Amino acid sequence: MTGFGKASAELSDSRIVVEVKSLNSKQMDLNVRIPAAFRSIEMDLRAQVTHALERGKVDLTATVESISGAPVHARLNAAAIAQYKEQIESIADSTGLPRPADWFALLVRLPEVVTAETTEDASPAQIEAMTQTVGRALEALMQHRRAEGERLEAFFAARIAGIGELLDRVEPFEAERISRIRQRMQEALEKIPVAEYDKNRLEQEMIFYIEKLDVNEEKQRLRQHLRYFIETMEAPQGGQGKKLGFIAQEMGREINTLGSKSNHADMQALVVKMKDLLEQIKEQVLNVM
């Protein structure tokens, strides 16, 4: 959901510049900074941004520069000037540097010391231009998002394929794992002096124990989640980011269960690699709408 878009428009008396920046967020968190002359359409602009971007931490900044003799008024920020002067004097005293000879020439160039706004409300032509410029900035941001989406699609596809390949490599260790477990149990019994036991009962208990370690259901469900993730990612409709996050959580449950049941060093090593790929997916799925 990260992106940046910028657009501008020139009228006979002014130039409008709009910048839109978005970062990851589960909800829509919109911050709008526009000139006071356009406050009457702020809610319309908010609705325009929300409809286009759906969610994210979004900053919309619009500025209007006068390019004619349109009446404007400038205001000096006395509080900012006083703070700047106090800090400069303190730095000069602590460093031994000379104080400025011309305070006003220095202070009026500092940020937020001078503000200038038009004295009139925006004209209908300016309002229309502002709305259209915001739309173009949003489209530029969406193009940025689409490019990132294509990158993420390739990223996810590679990680999902990687988990599937690791899952395929689990199967050869399963039969070996069962025989090893059976052998260890028999060897342990043989080490017990004068041990008498019912071989039929032992066989039943071993079968029960081995069934508890069976991972076929986990493997099947994990493969289903892998397919569902790809199908959801490739779906034509948007807004699948949260669903992909839920699917990734379900994949994690199956991988964790697979690891707890593996009881085999090589299988556990494969599970660790699966978890690493899944964590990469979870980190980047927050970038998906």
117: CATH:
3.30.230
Q: Which helix (H) or strand (E) holds 190?
A: helix 124-190
Query: Are 141 and 152 part of one and the same domain?
Result: no
Query: Are 159 and 270 part of one and the same domain?
Result: yes
Query: Are 39 and 155 part of one and the same domain?
Result: no
Q: Report yes or no on whether pTM surpasses 0.85.
A: no
Number of separate domains in the chain:
2
Query: Are 150 and 138 part of one and the same domain?
Result: no
At 211 the pLDDT is 64
Give dist(CA 165, CA 177) in Å, integer: 19
| 90 within a domain of the structure (yes/no) | no
| 98 within a domain of the structure (yes/no) | no
Give dist(CA 9, CA 5) in Å, integer: 14
At 210 the pLDDT is 65
Strand 14-23 versus strand 114-118 pairing type: unpaired
| 225 within a domain of the structure (yes/no) | yes
Query: Are 137 and 7 part of one and the same domain?
Result: yes
| 93 within a domain of the structure (yes/no) | no
Query: Are 53 and 157 part of one and the same domain?
Result: no
Give dist(CA 68, CA 122) in Å, integer: 15
Range of the domain at 11: 3-74+111-145
3 state DSSP class of 113: coil
Regions of the chain where pLDDT drops below 70: 1, 68-74, 115-120, 175, 178, 186, 189, 193-199, 201-203, 205-212, 238-239
The last residue of one of the domains, among 145, 171, 195, is 145
The last residue of one of the domains, among 90, 120, 145, is 145
For residue 115 the two structure tokens come to 């503000």
